Amino acid sequence: MQSESSIKTKTMSQADDDKGLKGFLKKCKQQQALLWMTVPFVIWVFIFKYLPVWGWTMAFQDYKPALSFTDQEWVGFKHFLFLFTDDRFLGVLRNTLAQSLINLVLGFITAITLAVLINELSNMKFKRVVQTISYLPHFLSWVVAAALVSSVLSIEGIVNEVLMGLGLIDKEILWLGVGEYFWGILGAAETWKNVGWNAIIYLAAISMIDQEQYEAAKIDGASRIQRILHITIPGMKSVIIVLLIMNIGYILEAGFEPQYLLGNGQNVEYSENIDVFVIKYGISMFNFSLATAAGMFKTVISFIFLIAANSLSKKMGQGGLY
């Protein structure tokens, strides 16, 4: 609050009018251009994003699409109870958290590293080619990607062949048949598929860095690594923080396609996450209410994590999302 108003006083000439309705209206007038830029879209966001939230009432009903709102049968917290009291819920929650955490950490580290390394390539042509090739897997559907992962990991697949050839294992491993490996496989697959895509945004951030700084550092005799650590990375900092906070909010969004496609009876205790559970017991059973209840649960958790991450970041003096 304080910092915000101090900025205001700095730029606003009539700081003392900054009180009451009158001051507010006056400001609105001063900033009418900014209002024109935002108000139409705020209206838009309310219509398209907030209005459909009435649908959350479904979570407390045995929703039947045909009935009008007043005719629905209200069932209180039944669907939440079903979700939370299922024997597997804790396991499912654990899997969701683990999968998305692995994804978060791996995703950030690999994408940032790749962006930095691509940026260090000096041959422009090679750089462009690498950049384009690195994001190709993003355009494969998970059906195709999962089929590939599965065949690579099969008993006669290349992974087993290489490991056997190197003498690291003495019997083929059924990778998808051992639950404990699943998170790792998923993390690797996600990284492979998305690292190039995720790096794009960091490359954009790097290209916004003032070139002068590099030249100056070179003159000062800074080494390659030093330049990366002291110019490139700090130059991306604000983007990294913003992305990190937003992604922490997605802590329960671990995706469902790869888990669904690579999951099987032998690894289900590590592969099944909330979204997969909801598909099985909600959508495929025409139970929109359960799906809604699970969605609400995820939203609440998201907000908690988001707010926590944001205030933590602010406390650390790194600025926040809002």
Partner 1 sequence: MDWKKNVWLLSLLVAVCLLIAACSDDSEETGSSDSDSDATEESGNEENEESDGEIYTYDFFDASGPGEDINTSETTLGKMFEEETGVNFDIEHIVGDVNQKIGTMIASGEYPELLNAEQSTDAVIDAGGFIPLNDLLEEHAPNIMEMYGPYLELMKRDDGNIYVISSGAAHDFAKPANVEQGAWWIKRDVLKELDYPKPETLDEYFDIIEEYTEANPQIDGADTIGFTALTHDWRFFALSNQPMHLAGYPNDGGIFVDMDTHEATVYNNKPETERWLKKLNEINSKGLFDQEAFTQNYDEYLAKLTTGRVVGFFDYRWQVGDAMNTLQEDDDPYNDYMAFPVVFEEGVKDQYLDPIGFTASPGMGITTGTSEEDQIRIIKYLDHIAKEEVQKLVTWGIEGETYEVGDDGRYYRTEEQIEQTRSTEFRDEFGFSYFEWGWPRMNGLYEDGNAVEPPKQPEVASMMYDDGDKEFLEAYDIETFTELFSEPDPRPWFPAWDTPIETGSQAQLYEQQLDDLMKRKFPEIVFADSSDFDAQWSSYLDEFEGLPYEEYEEVITDSVKRKVELVEQ
Partner 2 sequence: MFRRKKASFMRTREDIIFDTGNIIFMLILCVFMLYPFLNQIAISLNEATDSVRGGIYLWPREFTWNNYEHVFEKAAIYQAIFISVLRTLVGAGVGLFCTAMVAYAIAQPNFIFKKSVTIIFIMTMYFNGGLIPTFLLMRDLQLIGSFWVYILPTLISAFNLIIMRSFIEGLPNSIFESARIDGAGDFRIFFQIVLPLSLPVLATVALFVAVFQWNQWFDVFLYNSSQEHLTTLQYELMKILQNSSTTSSGDMASAFANSADGNSNMVTPKSIQATMTIVASVPIIMVYPFLQRYFVKGMTLGAVK
Chain residues binding partner 1 by CB under 8 A are: 1, 5, 18-19, 21, 24, 39, 42-43, 46-47, 50-51, 62, 64-67, 146-147, 150-151, 154-156, 174, 176-177, 260-261, 264-269, 280-281, 283-288
Per-residue HEC secondary structure of 152-190 comes to: HCCCCCHHHHHHHHCCCCCCCCCHHHCHHHHHHHHHHHH
CA–CA gap between residue 286 and residue 284 (Å, rounded): 6
Q: Does 17 bind partner 2 (CB under 8 A)?
A: no
Name which of partner 2, partner 1, none residue 159 binds, using a CB cut-off of 5 to 8 Å depending on partner kind: none
In the complex, minimum distance from the CB of residue 179 to partner 1, in angstroms, rounded to a whole number: 10
In the complex, minimum distance from the CB of residue 285 to partner 1, in angstroms, rounded to a whole number: 6
Binding to partner 2 in span 153-212, by CB under 8 A: 192, 196, 200-201, 203-212
Residue from 98, 174, 239, 244 in contact with partner 2 (CB under 8 A): 239
With contacts defined by CB under 8 A, name the span among 25-33, 74-82, 162-170, 257-265 that binds partner 2. Answer: 25-33
Of 47 and 109, CB closest to partner 1: 47
CA–CA gap between residue 158 and residue 135 (Å, rounded): 23
Sort 162 into a burial class: Cβ within 10 Å, 0-12 / 13-18 / 19+.
Answer: exposed
Strand partners, 61: 74
Of 34 and 42, CB closest to partner 1: 42
Residue from 14, 38, 264, 311 in contact with partner 2 (CB under 8 A): 38
What stretch of H or E contains 78?
helix 78-85
Of 63 and 202, CB closest to partner 1: 63
CB-based contacts of 104, cutoff 8 Å, min separation 6: 247, 248, 251
The answer to whether residues 130 and 118 touch, using CB atoms and an 8 Å cutoff, is yes
Name which of partner 2, partner 1, none residue 71 binds, using a CB cut-off of 5 to 8 Å depending on partner kind: none
Buried b / exposed e over 77-88, threshold 16 CB at 10 Å, is ebbbebbeeeee
With contacts defined by CB under 8 A, name the span among 79-87, 110-118, 168-176, 263-271 that binds partner 2. Answer: 110-118
Amino acid at 292: T
Of 23 and 319, CB closest to partner 1: 23
CB-based contacts of 212, cutoff 8 Å, min separation 6: none
In the complex, minimum distance from the CB of residue 195 to partner 2, in angstroms, rounded to a whole number: 9
Of 12 and 268, CB closest to partner 1: 268
Residue from 242, 244, 268, 279 in contact with partner 2 (CB under 8 A): 242
State the binding string over 68-107 for partner 2 (x if CB under 8 A, else -): ----------------------------------------
In the complex, minimum distance from the CB of residue 36 to partner 1, in angstroms, rounded to a whole number: 14
Amino acid at 139: F
CA–CA gap between residue 246 and residue 88 (Å, rounded): 28
The rounded radius of gyration (Å) of the Cα atoms in the chain is 25
